[in-house]
Each structure stands twice: as C-alpha cells, then as structure tokens.
Structure 1
C-alpha cells in the first residue's frame, strides 16, 4: 500500500459556496477518518480581507474558524500530521508599490495582461492562527501580507497560484516546504502588472514541527508494499518527515473582479 493515498479534489457548485455551505464542507471534511493519510492540504481561493475569506453571500469565513476545525481537539486523527493551508485571497485594500533594490537593476518580470486586486476588504482583524500547540504541525501560505491586496492576471490567474504551481512542479521532489515557499516568495515578489508598478509579497506562517518533503513518486510503485510513514533514509535527520502525495482541494469562488 502506498504510504499516502491520493484523494481527488472536488468542486462545489456555485449555489453551495455561501459562508454557511463552506463552513459545512470544511467541517464535514475535517471530521472524516484521516487515520490512513499522512497529510492534509486545503486550498482556498476567494475574495477576502484581513479576517478571512468571503462566501458568495459576502459572509466572512474567518481564518481562525477554518483552522479550528482541523486542530487537535476537533480533528484528533490529524494530530502530529502536517496540515497545509494555501489561501489565495486579499487580506486588505492596501497596494504595495515596491521600492528600488540597491543591489540589482533588474526589474521584476512584467505581467503582459491586466492584473487586478483579487478581492475586496473585510472588516479589519489581523489574525494568523489560534495558540499552539493545539494547532501545531500547521503551515499557512497566505498569498499576501495582512492589509494588502492579492493580484490576479486576467488570463493566467493569480500571481500566487501561478508561482505555487511552477515552483512545486519543478522542485517538490528535492526541496522541503520552507524552501519551496521561499522560492514562491521570490517568484511573486518579481512580478509586476503590465500597466502598473504594484508588487505583492506572500506571507507563509510555519507552525510545523518537522521538515516536510513531498517527494513525488516515492512509494507510488505497484510493487511497493511498505506501510506507515514514508521517511527519507538518504540524508534526512530524524525530524524530517517525507510523504508521497495527499491532495485535498477545497475550491471557493473564482469570480473575476
């Protein structure tokens, strides 16, 4: 048996993306039996503000409420397992105009299509996560800093998600989650709109207690009968955890501005 099973993502119809429906979907997923899985990944794409993301009814799903559903008290099957949250949404209405770099005259990579803020702002409330250790082994990858907008290309999609896909496809087999997100930070920081000089800076929040490697392909062979966690045996220290692939996608609104 593969050390981590693959769970296909599912999409929610437009009428099931209100604040209440998203809460119910996240709750139902968190309460599933995760005993046989090595990792939980939740991807949220929506409009939002500093406190959380919006449903189609403009209701706010706060980040603290999302994380609480997966903490040790409410989701004991995931205790000690990595819980990753990728959030593509605005966290305010400020726009970063950037500054000149003293050690480089190389401009950021221009975005050849119109880029617009990905969301409107909710009531100000700067929140990252509930207190640890109940929410330990959690990694939050926000598209932007608290108070700032997140930009989306009119044809290619959001800067943050594009960078995630590019970096993870290229380096997920060799780098841990922190190295991957540092590369994502760099890629997003170099992007600018075609007709504007705005910038964006992602904001990962690391509460993992081990170095997490995805190592795609390990344990996926039909001849592999190894059970239990997939631990790197080559050069990984004892506190490095490596998983195959466990993919849970929680889609939300993808409405153009």
Structure 2
C-alpha cells in the first residue's frame, strides 16, 4: 500500500504529483553469540513500524543480518529509483561502539559508511530529499549519573541494570575512503539525463539533506528494558503526539524542534542518564503529517 504526500518537508519535491515515503528497519536482536541477545528490541521494532505506518510510510523490516547482508541491503536500497519518493528513513537497532553497529556475525558496520551510500554519486534519485537515520545502539561503555561521568565497570556485560543493553567496547570509528569509494557512480551527463541536476540546480552539496539521530553520545551507553529502549519508545511517542494526535489545523513542530521534546521524555525514563545527540545537514525543515 502507498500513500500520498504525507511529508511536508519544505524541501523541493520530486517531479511526481504524489510522493511516497519509505522506512527500512534493521532489527539486530539475535547474534551468533546467544549471550548478546537484545531483549525488548522487538518492542522497538513494532513501535517504529506502527508509528511510521500511521504516518504513511512504506515499511521494510530485516532481522538479524550479518555484516555482508546488511551492507548488501543498503547497497541495493541505494540503487533503487526513488524519484516518486519524498523521504527515506533508515532505522538501525543493535549493540554498538562509536559510529558502528554489531551484526549477527559479530562484525561491526560503520554507520557513516551506510549513510554515504545515499550521496548524490550513489543515489541521485534521493538528491534534495531528506534522508533520516535513526540509530538505537550504544557508542561505548561510559555511563552518566547525577554527578557526572561514570567509568565502565570491569565487566561491562554485567552492568547494574538487568536486561539493559551495554556496549562491550569503545573504539574510535572513522570512515576510511579509498579511490574506489570516491569514484563517481554517475557522470554529469547521466545525471542530466535523469533530470537530477536540472531539477535541483545548485541545490545542495552531494552529501546534503541528512539528519542522523543517535540514542546516545559517542563513548556512552544507552538503555533498553524488556519493554523497549528509552530512546525509540520516547521518539515514537513524541512523533505520534505531534503528528498523529493533533488535529490538522493545529500547528506542528518541525522535526528538529520535536527532538528536544524527545530528550525530555528520555530524561523521564532514565532519570537524566542518557543524552540523545542528533546531527543535522538539512537545507529545509521537515514536518510529517498523518494520512
């Protein structure tokens, strides 16, 4: 099922009279090592599915992929023709270290590399359209308390809260570019044939119109109970209240302002022990609207 123009992005729309929106969810709940199971992650998956379906998104869900499978799915997604779509949302639910998530085979995948698959070079049909990455994963083993930062325990896996996710290691994770990575996938002539550069003349740099929302700061833990994670449950609650529960005539906040409300909800869940950062590279504001 597809829905019409449910995202008022204030970003120039595609050539189509109607735009669809797409949400892909990678739920890494089980791993080759059974001790790594992420209890409660299915609650986050279901909350995201329910929220974005009501917002009119086409939904695709993948469970427990190994690193090769996950990167292949992202590559395949970037090769799709999104000319009739106005927005892409990618949700990554897993264990993690800084800027990387754990896959079923115990290998980490760099989240920045996944994002850059949707640059102009690799995915021209999403050029000028918002690409939203939502990452529920630890970025290290530090924690926060009322008085400051707490060093990781000797055995991070036995963190004080039962059924709470904890990162098992902290490591800097930077994108490594090679000549193959930066080679243009499409020539300027091909982009012109696809009307990409004509339709968005001088519109954006090739890596523009991304917003990345992380559950926690680099180096720190994030928290998840059997009922789901503080971050995803707070985010879905805020999205529903702002874009689904309000009557159409009521003004709605754009997404960046709404994220400040999400932090307040996380504070209520976690007693102020989790900070949610987001990185914005947008040319216009994003507002969702219910179908």
State whether TM-score is above 0.5.
yes
Q: 2:69 — aligned with what?
A: 21
Shift of 1:168: 0.3
Aligned residues: 194
Distance, in Å, in 2 between the alignment partners of 1:198 and 1:171 is 22
Q: Is the 8 A contact 2:21 2:87 kept in 1?
A: no
Q: 1:51 — aligned with what?
A: 99
Distance, in Å, in 2 between the alignment partners of 1:185 and 1:126 is 26
For the pair 1:180 / 2:266, whether they are aligned, the reply is no
- 1:234-257 Cα shifts (integer Å, max 9, x gaps): xxxxxxxxxxxxxxxxxxxxxxxx
Counterpart mapping for 1:1-257 below 5 A: 2=4, 3-5=18-20, 7=22, 8-14=58-64, 17-99=65-147, 114=162, 116-125=164-173, 133-154=205-226, 156-172=227-243, 174-192=252-270, 199-217=273-291
Unaligned runs of 5+ in 2: 5-17, 23-57, 149-160, 176-203, 245-251
Give secondary structure in 1 for the equivalent of 2:91. Answer: strand
Q: Is the 8 A contact 2:140 2:169 kept in 1?
A: yes
Q: 1:241 — aligned with what?
A: none
- 1:13-42 Cα shifts (integer Å, max 9, x gaps): 54xx01110000011011101000001110
Q: Is the 8 A contact 1:93 1:147 kept in 2?
A: yes
Distance, in Å, in 1 between the alignment partners of 2:128 and 2:222 is 31
Q: Is the 8 A contact 2:213 2:279 kept in 1?
A: yes
Distance 1:176 1:49, change over 3 A: same
- 1:120-173 Cα shifts (integer Å, max 9, x gaps): 33532367xxxx93211000000000000110012x100000001110000026
Higher helix share: 2
Output the aligned Cα RMSD: 2.3
Unaligned runs of 5+ in 1: 101-112, 218-257
The answer to which structure, 1 or 2, has the higher relative contact order (CA under 8 A, 6+ apart) is 1
Give the TM-score normalised by structure 1: 0.69
